[in-house]
Amino acid sequence: MSGSSQAQQLAQGLDALGIPLDGVAQGKLLAYLALLAKWNKVYALTALRDQDKAVSHHLLDSLAILPFVDALAPANVLDVGSGGGQPGIPLAIARPSLAVTLLDSNSKKVAFLKQAAMELPLPGLSAQCLRVEAWQPEQKFAAITSRAFAEVADFVSLTRHLLAPGGRWLAMKGIYPQEELSRLPAGIVVEAVHPLAVPGVEGARHLVVLREE
């Protein structure tokens, strides 16, 4: 897909999602895609090989949760198992004032994430190469999100020590994860499950919002 058609697809997708972003932000989102495609030739950052789906599956799918992030107005966000940077990098581009931390245990992926933060540039973005259960940062997070890290119960259990008081987990899922939600640890409440309609992405998408009792 050419750069101009990607730009058109992005603009139309943002309009469909009801997310207004200026030209600078849209340009950075497309620059991020180009960087991801370049690095993906050497490192397996993402399983998606079809560049025609890059805008929908990398950018719009990540940004579909932005209204829910905005509603929480978190001081900071942690993206666990970030891989190639979704949803953290698109969120950081869309909201430059938001402090976004990307966490992954794969050093090659984290090298890419740090390069993206520097090249784009995204001063509010940082990346850590650690296993989530071993990480003990000084500051905890008001929102913790994940797109393809683990099932919901494991996601919550492994990151519970990282959530700030009153914080929320934002778990991005495909079909409604009924079975996964039945296995949640004690003291965890499902606050809401939001169906997401992502332009260009077939199949069900849901955002599960959780908190401690």
Give the Cα separation of 147 and 141 in Å (integer): 17
73 burial (CB, 10 Å; 0-12 / 13-18 / 19+) is exposed
Give the Cα separation of 71 and 77 in Å (integer): 13
- Ordered DSSP codes for 167-204: EEEEEEESS--HHHHTTPPTTEEEEEEEEE--TT--S-
Task: Tell me the sheet residues that pair with 200.
Answer: none
Give the Cα separation of 113 and 59 in Å (integer): 15
Q: Annotated binding residues, as ranges?
A: 81, 86, 132-133, 147
Give the residue among 63, 82, 87, 51 at the shortest CA–CA distance from 11: 63
What does the H/E/C string look like for 151-165? CHHHHHHHHHHHEEE
Query: Count of H helices and E strands in the chain?
Result: 9, 7
Give the Cα separation of 141 and 164 in Å (integer): 5
Q: Annotated binding residues for S-adenosyl-L-methionine, as ranges?
A: 81, 86, 132-133, 147
